[in-house]
Amino acid sequence: MADRLGKPMSQRQLRVGEMVKQALSMIFIKNEAKVPNLETNNITVTEVRMSQDLKIAKAYVLPLGGKNAEETINTLKEYSFLIRKILSQKVVMKFLPKILFRKDESFEYAEKIENLIKQSNK
């Protein structure tokens, strides 16, 4: 796995990313962040990628069934301060990372590839 500059991610980045991913997942499952107008227990955190300095966490998320994904991501971005506050109680780090929420496109991409393979086999 590599970051956007093509450098391989360090073990530390991977370990911290996994720790943040698990903490975010538990926060969403238990609906601890109390994000207005959003049932967070329907949100799946598929991956968290940490920046090299561990100050930025890109959280790739997907609502159940992919419904209203853009709306959900925008709500998460708007209330990321609430989620970060709860995260600070769950994860012990020197600097708590800023959380950037992104829609996970990997399932759509995999489905597109699968359909292309099916078409070429006909």
Amino acid identity of 99?
Answer: I
61: which strand partners?
45, 103
Residues in the chain predicted with pLDDT less than 70, given as ranges, are: 1-6, 122
Element (H, E) at 116: helix 106-120
Neighbours of 39 (CB within 10 A): 12
CB 20 within 8 A of CB 87: yes
Compute φ and ψ for 69, nearest 5 degrees. Answer: -60, -50
pLDDT of amino acid 115:
79
Digit-coded pLDDT (tens) for 90-105? 888 888 999 999 998 8
For 93, the 3-state DSSP assignment is coil
pLDDT of amino acid 84:
92
pLDDT of amino acid 6:
63
pLDDT of amino acid 83:
92
45: which strand partners?
61
Give residue limits of the domains in the chain. 11-120
The two structure tokens encoding residue 13: 């980045």
Asked if CATH classification 3.30.300.20 holds for the domain at 11-120, the reply, yes or no, is: yes
